[in-house]
Amino acid sequence: MREIIKSFTVSIWFMFLTFPIMVIKVNTIEKTIEWRWERLIFVGIGSFFLSFLWRYLITRKESGIKKAEAGEEIKQPLSQRFFEDRRLFFPALGGVIILTVTFPLFFSSYQTNIMTNALMYVMLGLGLNIVVGLAGLLDLGYVAFYAVGAYCYALLNYHFGIGFWAVLPIAAAMGALFGILLGFPVLRLRGDYLAIVTLGFGEMIRLILENWNKFSFGPSGIANIPRPTFFGYQFSFDHSFIYIYYLMISLTILTIFVVNRLQNSRIGRAWIALREDEIACQAMGIDIRKTKLTAFALGATWAGMVGVVFAAKTTFVNPASFTFMESAIILSLIVLGGMGSIIGVILGAFIFILLPEYLRAIEEYRMLVFGAAMVVMMVFRPQGLISNIRRTYEFRSSKKQ
């Protein structure tokens, strides 16, 4: 009974809270007011039940913490166990590979295009994951490097006619360069200041692109960017989508390969140590300046490359594609998937990009759900869907026991 009263109070509170924004809609031109009372009922009922769920989850989380403190084994969630069990994981991986490779054969170019999109976000997510997930540097201006890549291709092509393949490495290098450029001034900043400065940096790049007409052609952007060629061969409109799809698959595999190797290397360990404790990290002989700069540079590289693909795919770039929302989407998909975990990021990207595409009904609510998901994930499962699995080592003597 007490629970019901509690939920009832919550529901009344939310009905009060959402009343003006949800119910009343004024038309200031025709001077009419629309009352949408039915929404108030939805909010009331919805918040009544959600508050039960919320309290249940909070108690569960608290008992989980207590259990962990008492040293009890905590049951891993299903998703986690799935990826740790090799007998399940490898066949599944095989299936996924076959599916991705044959995808364009079975689906329309529209579907392929959506998949390409998702893959681009996978790559962006993996890049940002180096900075945020591994090195623990909250970068809210990641989209700037994406813009750098896209404009790199657009401008180099416009002025000098340089082709896609030549620009790809240039854009990667430019991404890294901008990463270092951003990295230098923020070396000394703590987590939350860093977040704001990177956010400012991202907005600044966009504003410069918008206002520096002579350089970037302002808000109207640059059109007629050529699609990529295959050893000089230009595909037809339809086929080029499939080509870009395979291109994105290869780039994504390259990213996964490199990021995986990096995270299990001396440098990757230094990044994680930096995330865990900056002071202890320095005291153990790690040059944190260098470590931070490599993280920024290697994270930004991928965004630079995806930027080129983006420009080639849409054949048009303008500053409106590179708003803070883009950075927020990339950040939220790695938060959802699991910071620091490659599989988590991939999963997060597919869920976040594909779900709204296929469930048209929720597309409008996409960012609303993203935002709510970020809050809920942080409160109840900060490690994301798939948490980072630490590598274990086996030794002869430890096996004996």
Partner 1 sequence: MEPLLEVKNLLMAFGGLLAIDGLDLTVNENEIVALIGPNGAGKTTLFNCITGIHKPTGGDIFINISNKKHYRINGLKPHKITESGMARTFQNIRLFPNMTVLENVMIGRHCRSHAGVAGAVLRNGKTRKEEKNIVEYCYNLLEKIELDPFVNEQAKNLPYGVQRRLEIVRAMATDPFLLLLDEPAAGMNNQETKELDALINKIRDEENIAILLIEHDMKLVMSLAEKIVVMDYGKKIAQGTPEEIKSNPVVIKAYLGEEDDT
Partner 2 sequence: MDWLYFLELFLSGLTKGSIYALIALGYTMVYGIIQLINFAHGEVYMIGAFTGLIVASILTLLGLNTLSILLLASMAAIIYSAAYGFTIEKIAYKPLRQAPRLSPLISAIGMSIFLQNYVMIAQTSDFMPFPSLIPDFEFMEPYAHIIGSPELVIILTTMVVMIFLTVLIKFTRIGKAMRATAQDKGMAMLVGVNIDRVISMTFIIGTALAAVGGILTACHVGQINFYIGFLAGLKAFTAAVLGGIGSIPGAVLGGLVLGLTESFGTGYISSDYEDVFAFTLLILILIFRPAGILGRSTTQKV
Contact residues for 61 (Cβ-Cβ < 8 A; gap 6+): 379, 380
Q: Which of residues 16, 89, 90, 107 is near partner 2 by CB under 8 A?
A: 16
Q: Which of residues 6, 25, 60, 81 is near partner 2 by CB under 8 A?
A: 25
Residue 97 interacting partner from partner 1, partner 2, none (CB closer than 5 to 8 Å by kind): none
**Does 27 participate in binding partner 1 (rule CB under 8 A)?**
no
Residue 370 interacting partner from partner 2, partner 1, none (CB closer than 5 to 8 Å by kind): partner 2
**Does 30 participate in binding partner 2 (rule CB under 8 A)?**
no
Give the CA-trace dihedral at 78, 79, 83, 86, to 10 degrees. 30
Per CB under 8 A, contacts with partner 2 among 316-345 are 324-325, 328, 331-332, 335
**Does 181 participate in binding partner 2 (rule CB under 8 A)?**
no
Give, in order, the Cα–Cα distances in Å from 199 to each of 77, 193, 194. 34, 10, 8
Q: Which of residues 151, 201, 217, 296 is near partner 2 by CB under 8 A?
A: 201
Q: Residues for the chain: how many in total?
A: 401
**Does 281 participate in binding partner 1 (rule CB under 8 A)?**
yes
Which listed range, 154-162, 166-174, 235-243, 257-265, lies at the site for partner 1 (CB under 8 A)? 257-265
Which listed range, 103-111, 212-220, 366-374, 385-393, lies at the site for partner 1 (CB under 8 A)? 385-393
Q: For the chain, how big is the Rg over CA atoms in Å? A: 24
Min CB(365)–partner 2 separation in Å = 7
Q: Which of residues 1, 5, 74, 375 is near partner 2 by CB under 8 A?
A: 375
Which listed range, 48-56, 122-130, 160-168, 282-290, lies at the site for partner 1 (CB under 8 A)? 282-290
